[in-house]
Amino acid sequence: MGEPHELTMLEQAAAVRSGALSPTELARHYLARIERLNDAVGAYVTVTPERALDDAARAERRLAAGGELPPLLGVPVPVKDLTPVAGVRWTAGSAVFTDRVAASEPHVVDLLRAAGTVLLGKTNAPEFGLPAYTEGRIAPPARSPYDPALMAGGSSGGAAAAVAAGLAPAAHGSDGGGSIRIPASCCGVVGLKPSRGRVSWAPFGDLTGLAVTGPIARTVRDTAALLDVMAGPVPGDPMPMAALGAAGTSGASSFLEWCAREPRRLRIGRWARPDVDVPVDPVVLAAYERTSALLAGLGHEVVDVEQPLGPGDHGSFDPVWEVMALLAPVPAGREGELMPLTRWLRERGRAASGERFALAMAAMQAVGRKFAAAVAPFDAVLTPTLARLPQPVGTLRDDADPAADFAAQYAFTPFTGAWNIAGLPAVSLPVEWTDGGLPIGMMLGAPHGAEGPLLALAAQVEAAAPWRQRRPVAW
């Protein structure tokens, strides 16, 4: 069987069910790896060994009792530290909340527990999830396991680093402007941003519809299986989507089932020109062309499309993001302890009147409709995930000039945010790699609600250009 961390998430679940691997053995294996390797990659901000072993013991009792078993019984899945887990430290990436312990947790955490997962800990995230890098004051920076001099991306940087380094088989993430797909690209793993409404935020609010919860894993099938666990509406959700298999829905009854379906000949649009005036690395463009050829070789029609957004369209996102930065309730007198970028965004958010925010939301929704209309004629759309290769740690962060910091993030990630604005699903796949062994993520997106067909296409791509055997030196 090899080392437990060499197994995929689904293989671990099968090994637990068969008795070939015990949940306690699996948890101890990962805890030992985290102790040995975490400082080098900055994957976890909080490790919960007692909770992990308690969860594993509970899974073993469930196995002994027999009967129907949950799908991921005994399998470790960490939670991003922007999301609370009751009884566990919850920093949201901020030194202001270094010692905070969560009193409650959202529905998605309940679903992960009901699926039988084991909590190894909370993964590293930047302050309030605002930047596209994971470099804060409460933990070492999250780094790409393929080159620890390079950033893991953000804001789910710790989650992607954990999966890539073999410190978790899969991980919970969240994405408000690329925060699952950016680190997936930097770390050479699969990261899926679901459609708006696919995964409930209950009981928390969903003010703008930008941010969604989603899976990060090494394979497309693991990604689909983790989405199966996370997905589902809660009564009262502002933008609910019916669960797969529910009355009135069509297609497969699970996202994992979709991965076994051979896609028909698809019409795939593509563009590689950003919607802001920034250059794209020629190495990334060459990878994009090879991926286009791969899709055509699989029998799909690949169509060149003009960038659907124009100058200024993406800027509708900015005032909304600035107001979102205010949602964290920082205690009085502690604003000065926040990161410079966070303070800058919050100051700009406070300066926004209610009228300006309402107008910005309306403008952003108009841009989202424009983008969705451009995607609608296609079964899928291909773009690079990022405009550049993973950057050295500290390259984007500029504490002396937060405006320059924000602009640098745009230049690095010009392709991801539009999918959040429109609420459409998109997945970053580690299809391409440099000659030096660095991952180059390619992004496939689809119309709203089309995660199933999107995952079927992603699984086909993985079968044609497998990446599972690509592992960092520390593996």
The catalytic residue positions are 80, 155, 179
Q: What is d(CA 279, CA 258) in angstroms, rounded to the nearest whole number?
A: 36
Phi-psi bin for 428: left (phi > 0), alpha (psi -120 to 50), beta? beta
- The first and second tokens of residue 355, run together, are 């009228």
Q: Distance between alpha carbon 452 and the CA centroid of its chain, in Å?
A: 17
Cβ proximity of 292 and 324 under 8 Å: no
How many beta carbons lie within 10 A of that of residue 79, not counting itself? 29
Cβ proximity of 256 and 224 under 8 Å: yes
Please confirm whether the linkage preceding 203 is cis (ω < 30° from 0).
yes
Residues with Cβ within 8 Å of 401's Cβ and at least 6 positions away in sequence, in order, are none
Residue 190: φ, ψ to 5°: -95, 130
- The first and second tokens of residue 412, run together, are 């690095």
Burial of 337 (0-12, 13-18, 19+ CB in 10 A): middle
Cβ proximity of 371 and 448 under 8 Å: no
- The first and second tokens of residue 62, run together, are 């469930």
Q: What is d(CA 448, CA 198) in angstroms, rounded to the nearest whole number?
A: 10
